Amino acid sequence: MTVVVDARSGGGDRGVPDLVTFHRRELGQILQLYGRMVAAGEWKDYGISHLRDAAVFCIFRRHAEMPLFRIEKRPRLAGRQGMYAVIALDGRVLKRGQDLAQVMKVLEPRRLRVVGR
């Protein structure tokens, strides 16, 4: 008897856990912020990792450095602290929550305005 396993499913009932990935909407939100920051000259490169327990989007100032920030998605924390987190270079959690857009606001460039004289 031949068993057909969909490679995209991660193996299903064979005991191989599925990988956590960013959905198209989530990736769109992240890449929109990334594009603005690249245009501003702040960020230069990125990397995406899909692991068994997390999906990670790493942001680099240059391609040969440690990531400045990591945007992580950990579905197991959805009921507790929040599925999404922004983590700094030194490991500090800058913001955590259930809404990706709200969590990523910590990465938005500060809006400077001229104060009247």
Q: What's the total number of domains in the chain?
A: 1
Q: In this structure, is residue 4 part of a structural domain? A: no
Is the pLDDT assigned to residue 93 strictly greater than 90? yes
**What amino acid occupies position 74?**
R
Q: In this structure, is residue 112 part of a structural domain? A: no
Lowest mean pLDDT among 32-41, 86-95, 106-115: 106-115
Give residue 93's Cα distance to chain centre: 13
Domain extent, residue 37, equals 18-107
pLDDT confidence of residue 96: 94
Measured distance CA(46)–CA(63) in Å, rounded: 8
pTM attached to this predicted model = 0.76
